[in-house]
Amino acid sequence: VTSRGCEYNCIFCESKLVLGNTFRQRSVKNVIEEIKQLQKLYGIKAVFFVDDVLVISESWMHEFCDTILSEKIP
User: pTM of the entire structure?
Assistant: 0.84
- The whole-number average pLDDT for the span 17-30 is 87
In three-state form (DSSP H/G/I as H, E/B as E, the rest C), the secondary structure along 6-66 is CCCCCCCCCHHHHHCCCCEECCHHHHHHHHHHHHHHHCCCCCCCCCCCCCCCHHHHHHHHH
Average pLDDT, the chain: 91
pLDDT band at 18 (very low <50, low <70, confident <90, very high): confident
Higher pLDDT, 5 or 47: 47
pLDDT of residue 31: 97
Q: Tens of pLDDT along 49-70?
A: 998 888 889 999 999 999 999 9
